[in-house]
Amino acid sequence: MASVLETLVGQFAGTPVQRLSQSLGTDDATAQKALGAALPLLVSALAKNASEPKGADALHRALAKDHDGSVLNDVGGFLNQPDTKTGDGILRHVLGDRRQAAEAGISQASGLDARGAATLLATLAPVVMGALGRQQRQQGLDTAALAQMLQGERQQAANAPGLSGLAGLLDADKDGQIVDDLAKLGGKMLGGLFGKRSG
Residue pair 96/58 in contact (Cβ under 8 Å)? The answer is no
Which of the residue ranges 28-32, 121-125, 189-193 would you say has the lowest mean pLDDT?
189-193
Q: From CA 71, how far away is CA 129, in angstroms rounded?
A: 9
Within 10 angstroms of residue 184's Cβ, the number of other Cβ atoms is 19
Which of the residue ranges 43-57, 96-110, 174-188 would you say has the lowest mean pLDDT?
174-188
pLDDT at 13 (0 to 100):
83
Burial 124-151 (b: 16+ CB within 10 A, else e): bbbbbbbbbbbbbeeeebebeebbebbb
Residue pair 59/66 in contact (Cβ under 8 Å)? The answer is no
Per-residue three-class SS string for the chain: CCCHHHHHHHHCCCHHHHHHHHHHCCCHHHHHHHHHHHHHHHHHHHHHHHCCHHHHHHHHHHHHHHCCCHHHHHHHHHHHCCCHHHHHHHHHHHCHHHHHHHHHHHHHHHCCCHHHHHHHHHHHHHHHHHHHHHHHHHHCCCHHHHHHHHHHHHHHHHHCCCCCCHHHHHHCCCCHHHHHHHCCHHHHHHHHHHHHHHC
Q: From CA 11, how far away is CA 41, in angstroms rounded?
A: 17
Residue pair 105/38 in contact (Cβ under 8 Å)? The answer is no
| Band of pLDDT at residue 186, cut at 50, 70 and 90 | very low
Query: In this predicted model, what pLDDT tens digit does every residue of 112-159 receive, in sequence order?
Result: 998 999 999 999 999 999 999 999 999 999 999 999 999 998 887 766
Question: What is the rounded average pLDDT of the residues 44-48?
Answer: 90
Within 10 angstroms of residue 198's Cβ, the number of other Cβ atoms is 7
Rounded to 5°, angle at Cα 45 from 8 and 98:
125
| Band of pLDDT at residue 27, cut at 50, 70 and 90 | very high
Which of the residue ranges 5-14, 28-37, 104-113, 157-166 would you say has the lowest mean pLDDT?
157-166
